[in-house]
Amino acid sequence: MKPTYQLPFTASRALTLGVELELQLVSPRDFDLTRAATDLLASLHHDGRHGDVKLEITESMIEINTQPRQDITAITQDLEGLRALLVDQCQKNNISICGGGTHPFHRWPERRICPGERFAFLHDRYGYLSKQFTVFGQHIHIGVTSGDDAIWLTHALNAYVPYFIALSASSPFQDGTDTHFDSARLTAVSAFPLSGQAPGTLNSWADFEKHLELLQACGVAHGIKDLYWDVRPKPEYGTVEIRVCDTPLHIDRAAELAAFAQSLASYLLRERPVISPELQGLVARYNKFQACRYGLHAELADPIAHQTQPLAHTLIVLLDTLRPDAQALGCRAQLEHLREVCTQGGDAHWLRHYLHTHPSLPELTRAATERFAQKSAYLHTKPPATPSHTSR
């Protein structure tokens, strides 16, 4: 039986990529967050060839969106173009800009909601949570050819959410203290009533349409934007969106995470492993907590093998498995760098180490602005020739 409510899915080319980054706007005087997003955007003039720059929910955030691209080199070029544009414009406006999943010491009551109907709605519905939502994430879009594939891939990717959290974790500090989490950002997201994972009972796009129709009829959700799922379909773009990553400290890590997502999706869509959303759902919240709390040192529950396994070890095995896909997609170098992260540590480790040697949170934030200001190493190093995935 077809649902009475229908939400068209705009098919896109399989494995196309798009990246969104939410960035921090800070004062170069004390490196606290500053209310500058509206003025910054008003003064910004760009041709859009690398994507878009948008407001986010509070005035201390700005969001960049790449164009939809076929390969990671083009995504990196977009990220570099947008980074350079913002760094230059911020300097002209006496603003500093950086990545990281949380600001280390800002006070959420001091935040100001950006103008806009959507932001006003969120503030009215969620109250103080809307200002506490001044956290910063990376979203990765992966193109799929149909709504049914979008639902299947949403479920398939849910099992890998802890890996994306651990690899991107860059929010160990919040409210002026070490949270003892590698990713404290996701606690703010988890406060929203429609956060978590897609229900395991959704087996097709028609099922999803009926599910959203029910939520709308009950007043629970107005649309897909109200679903704060870890992974969700985005029908107007023809993509599946991974939403659990912290914003990295540098755009090259953002590109590496996108390469991981593309290679993983390529592998999953080709191999079509048997998935059990209901079984995976039993341990999803626990595994997500483990990744947020311990990062690469997490222990993940395996509901099929009835045991726990070290996240870093299973991630290395996964990255090895994805090598042929990464090679075909032209992003093997990016996955090799992520393999090094498994043993050397990522952004959360860097932030803690820097604070240990420079015990000042404003100084830590200043160092983060310098890190974000660095150009992409990938675009200044000629990679070895690899076949394009468009020939597959």
CATH code at position 234: 3.30.590.20
Q: Flag whether 239 is in a domain.
A: yes
Exposure class string for 234-252: b at 16+ Cβ within 10 A, else e: bbebbbbbbbbbbbbbbbb
List 62's β-bridge partners, or say none.
23, 55
CA-CA-CA-CA torsion sign (11, 275, 20, 83): negative
Q: For residue 382, what pLDDT band results from cuts at 50, 70 and 90?
A: low
pLDDT of residue 33: 98
Mean pLDDT for the chain overall: 94
77 part of a folded domain: yes
Residues contacting residue 117 through CB under 8 Å, at least 6 positions apart: none
Look at residue 147 and tell me if it is in a domain: yes
Q: What is the pLDDT of residue 381?
A: 63
Residues 6+ away with beta carbon under 8 Å from 120 = 113
Distance CA 347, CA 345 (A): 7
Q: How many angstroms separate the CA atoms of 280 and 282, rounded?
A: 5
373: nearest Cα among 103, 96, 134: 96
Give the whole-number percent of the chain exceeding pLDDT 90.
91
Q: What are phi and psi of 83, to 5 degrees?
A: -60, -50
Asked if pLDDT for residue 2 goes beyond 90, the answer is: no
Q: Is residue 145 part of a domain?
A: yes
pLDDT > 70? residue 250:
yes
Question: Could you report the per-residue pLDDT of 65-93, keeping only the tens digit for each?
Answer: 999 999 999 999 999 999 999 999 999 99
What's residue 1's pLDDT?
46
Q: Hey, is 247 helix, strand or coil?
A: coil
In angstroms, the CA 107 to CA 364 distance is 17
Long-range contacts of 213-222 (CB under 8 A, 24+ apart): 213/3, 213/4, 213/5, 216/5, 220/193, 220/194, 221/194, 222/121
Please tell me the number of Cα atoms within 13 Å of 347 on its side-chain side.
34
Total of domains in the chain:
1
Q: Residue 386: is its pLDDT beyond 60?
A: no
The whole-angstrom separation of Cα 251 and Cα 21 is 9
Domain that holds residue 54: 17-382
- Pair 299, 215: CB distance under 8 Å: no
Residues 241 and 169 sit within 8 Å (Cβ to Cβ): no
pLDDT band per the 50, 70, 90 thresholds, residue 6: confident
| Residue spans of alpha helices (H) in 159-203 | 161-168, 185-190
CA dist 72 and 20 (Å) reads 14
Q: How confident is the model at residue 390 (pLDDT cuts 50, 70, 90)?
A: very low
Q: Is the pLDDT of residue 392 over 70?
A: no
Predicted pLDDT at 4: 63
Give the end-to-end CA distance of the chain in Å, rounded to a whole number.
37
Query: Is the residue at 131 inside a domain?
Result: yes
Query: What pLDDT, in 10s, does the model give residues 204-234?
Result: 999 999 999 999 999 999 899 999 999 999 9
Q: Is residue 333 part of a domain?
A: yes
Tens digit of pLDDT for each residue in 268-326?
Answer: 999 999 999 999 999 999 999 999 999 999 999 999 889 999 999 999 999 999 999 99
Instruction: Look at residue 267 and tell me whether its pLDDT is greater than 90.
Output: yes
pTM for the full predicted model: 0.95
Confidence category of residue 161, pLDDT binned at 50, 70, 90: very high
**Residue 275, SS3?**
coil
Question: Would the pLDDT of 354 be above 60?
Answer: yes
* pLDDT > 70 in the chain, percent: 96
Q: What are the structure tokens assigned to 256, written together?
A: 């590496």
3-state secondary structure of 65: strand
The CA distance from 330 to 322, in Å, is 12
With respect to residue 11, please indicate whether it lies within any of the assigned structural domains.
Answer: no
User: DSSP state, 183?
Assistant: B
Which segments within the chain are labelled E, that is strand? 17-26, 52-55, 61-65, 96-98, 137-143, 173-174, 177-178, 195-196, 228-229, 231-234, 239-246, 299-302, 307-310
Identify whether 1 is part of a domain.
Answer: no
Q: What are phi and psi of 99, to 5 degrees?
A: -95, -155
Query: What does the pLDDT read at residue 380?
Result: 75
d(C-alpha 199, C-alpha 155), whole Å: 9
Residue 261: enclosing H or E segment and its boundaries? Answer: helix 251-271
